[in-house]
Amino acid sequence: MHDIRAIRENPAAFDAALAKRGLSPLSPKILALDEARRARITASETAQADANAAAKQVGQAKHKGDLDEFERLRALMADKKAEIAELDAQAKAEDEKLRDLLLTIPNLPHDDVPVGKDEADNVEIHRHGTPPNLGFAPKEHFDLPAVQGGMDFETAAKISGSRFVILSGGVARIHRALAQFMLDTHTTENGLTEVNTPVLVRDEAMLGTGQLPKFAEDSYQTTNGWWLIPTSEVTLTNIVSDTMIDEGYLPRRYTAHSLCFRSEAGSAGRDTSGMLRQHQFEKVEMVSITKPEDSRAELDRMTKCAEGILERLDLAYRTMALCTGDMGFGAQRTHDIEVWLPGQNTYREISSVSVCGDFQARRMNARFKRDGAKKPEFVHTLNGSGLAVGRCLIAVLENGQQADGSVKLPSALVPYLGGRSILTAEGVLA
């Protein structure tokens, strides 16, 4: 959420930043609501002062026996009480309107974010590896002979509908191995703390990280009001909600492997084949909580953590700085990491790492206090995939495919597969 004081102080800068995202000026509407709210608060305070003054005088009038003045002051106090209640209700209503509006406005981009309309304007900032020359026409993951028996979309559709899959045998074990490999790397080499969090959360948690109120249709809600998390960013970041953190406790760096659930409301007709876009999937998430001056460097650090997973898996990738028109709602700057998929002959997103500044912290009331400081400050939050497990499985299968229908697996996974390094054309680990 945005700082109303910053908007008051420099509305032109606020609107200029929104314009980079392709949005019309909003400061006039925001400031009009803010002015109306403040005017009613001031009027209520004035009425309260009048009521307090009358309260002092009413006793004096009674002591003097001035009954007319006594009754006048009593009537005045009753009027002021009603006036204060009405003004307070109006101020509360204006405050809710202002908050509701601010909750729907996206974060402001960093100055170093490329300005653009859509993904065509994203800027490549790093590239690693060379797409493999397989020597034959590559297949997509769901068409690989080695995968045919271990990736069942038909049975999943019978049970749950479209955009679900059942993994079994060697494919399921590779999927599990990938998640374990990611967690082990992040915890033993990258300094992240492993956390196991719920997948059901309250409204407040979704509101805090920006999924609500604007993107409710993108997630699933149970009949008793819980939300299924679209990513464990929600739970990991909310660990510090409504918390005052000691400066020495920062930075906090978390990772979690969890199920994620997304309705894919805006993706009709896209990636309908295979595992690329599912309603239920698994992801290893990274979340960092930092001091304001450390968050930009932390973005680069987290990006390298995600890139390192792909490098250990011998996968070619590129890293893109998203333009202002392609960034997510809560981000100030985002790095998308795209892995090479031979079956599609292109790079596809496998991780998105974002710095949010104090945007989420204001929504969650997550603050810290510097040593010796009188006033607390809002923390900065960051999140990123480290990585999407299903998409990583796709990349491993497609990049390792062999002419005989088998799949050669990355050496980094061999210890997690009981020493096996091949998924045979029959779907058996060997």
Residue 268: predicted pLDDT: 66
Asked if 11 and 2 count as a contact pair (C-beta separation under 8 A), the reply is no
| pLDDT (tens digit per residue) in 344-383 | 999 999 999 999 999 999 999 999 999 999 999 999 999 9
- In the predicted model, residues of the chain with pLDDT beneath 70 are 266-269
Picking from 47, 123, 59, the residue whose alpha carbon sits closest to that of residue 324 is: 123
Kindly list the catalytic residues.
262, 277, 349, 352, 391
- 10 Å CB burial of residue 270 (0-12, 13-18, 19+) is exposed
Q: Are strands 252-261 and 193-194 parallel, antiparallel or unpaired?
A: parallel
Say how many residues make up the chain: 430
| pLDDT (tens digit per residue) in 172-207 | 999 999 999 999 999 999 999 999 999 999 999 999
Q: In angstroms, how far is the first alpha carbon of the chain from the final one?
A: 52
Give pTM, 2 decimals: 0.94
Picking from 76, 363, 390, 409, the residue whose alpha carbon sits closest to that of residue 203 is: 363
Picking from 337, 277, 273, the residue whose alpha carbon sits closest to that of residue 310 is: 337
Q: What is the DSSP string of 135-197?
A: SS----GGG-GGGTTTEEHHHHHHHH-SS--EE-HHHHHHHHHHHHHHHHHHHHTS-PEE---
Asked if 115 and 321 count as a contact pair (C-beta separation under 8 A), the reply is no
Give the integer Cα–Cα distance in Å for 196 and 277. Answer: 24
Q: Which domains are delineated in the chain?
A: 4-102 (1.10.287.40), 119-423 (3.30.930.10)
Residue 273: predicted pLDDT: 84
